[in-house]
Amino acid sequence: MAGERSVHTLTIITKKHKPAAWQAGEGLRDWCRRRGLAAHLLENEPDPQTPPLPAGTQLIVVMGGDGTLLSVARHYGHLGVPVLGVNVGGLGFLTEVSLEELYPALEQVLAGAFELEERLMLTVTLVRRGVRCWEEWALNDAVINKGALARIVDLTAWIDGEYLTNYRADGLIIATPTGSTAYTMSAGGPIAYPTLQHLILLPICPHTLSNRPLILPAGATICVSLNQRVRDTHLTVDGQVGQALESGDRVEVKAAPHFLKFIKSPRRSYFEILRTKLGWGEMTGTRGNGVE
């Protein structure tokens, strides 16, 4: 959908400990202020130092890479403020706009001429001895796996309360369509168009080869329990935050009650990003409109 109003107040969030990102953020802040816009500049801070989003923010511009955008999505995605990702470095799957494209793209965004995508997020909950002891949101995935010395983990999975199967594997990934180009792709999972509404359940190198990836509806609740012999096993969210797991723990994953409002690059499509990032070549004579 197109933006319904122009933007007058924005917050720029830069990757922490990356001077180039901070300098680019300063330049953008000054550019905005010369145009009479209210612009705030923050450095991305981990929990629990994450600052509140400045009041009145209508747009978040992330200056960094995909990891910075994942962090910003977890911290502020529930607020419903549109996010534009700017890559300070190489092109990312999430930070779609390069520094060279920033100002022309931002001119369009500030005028309200932009398209929003609603990206599914996850609510990841750790239940220990019947108590919900930890909860986090995720844009990409939740991963359960073991340390390098003892990699096989024994897990039992339920879908909406119905027993699914037991997994003996290196781990288990529960991902969103956005996360399908992250760890899920490396583990052999499918690439899903990012605005689809479903969950991906993927065992990592399963001991039983018939344990295959599952595509589940977005309304499903996935529960995974650990057996009594588990050791050195962790739950990780978006590859950034997590918890050590204990025997008998249960991990619950479902769609979050909110979507990340993601501003599409006005200059390149998702398929162009796939071709660029994955090095997909074009055979002579096959490029066209796809119609014989």
- The residue from 47, 66, 154, 232 that is catalytic is 66
212: which DSSP letter? -
Element (DSSP H or E) covering residue 12: strand 9-14
Q: How many CB atoms lie within 10 A of CB 86?
A: 28
The two structure tokens encoding residue 18: 């990356």
Q: Which residues of 195-224 are buried (b: 16+ CB within 10 A; e: fewer)?
A: ebebbbbbbbebeeeebeebebeeeebbbb
20 within 8 A of 68, measured Cβ to Cβ: no
Crossing angle for the helix pair 19-34 and 102-110, to the nearest 10 degrees: 40
Among 236, 239, 192, which Cα is nearest to 216's? 192
What's the rounded Cα separation, in Å, for the pair 120 and 85?
17
Question: Catalytic: 66?
Answer: yes
Q: Determine the 3-state secondary structure of 20 from DSSP.
A: helix
248 phi and psi, to 5 degrees?
A: 85, -5
Supply the residues annotated as catalytic: 66
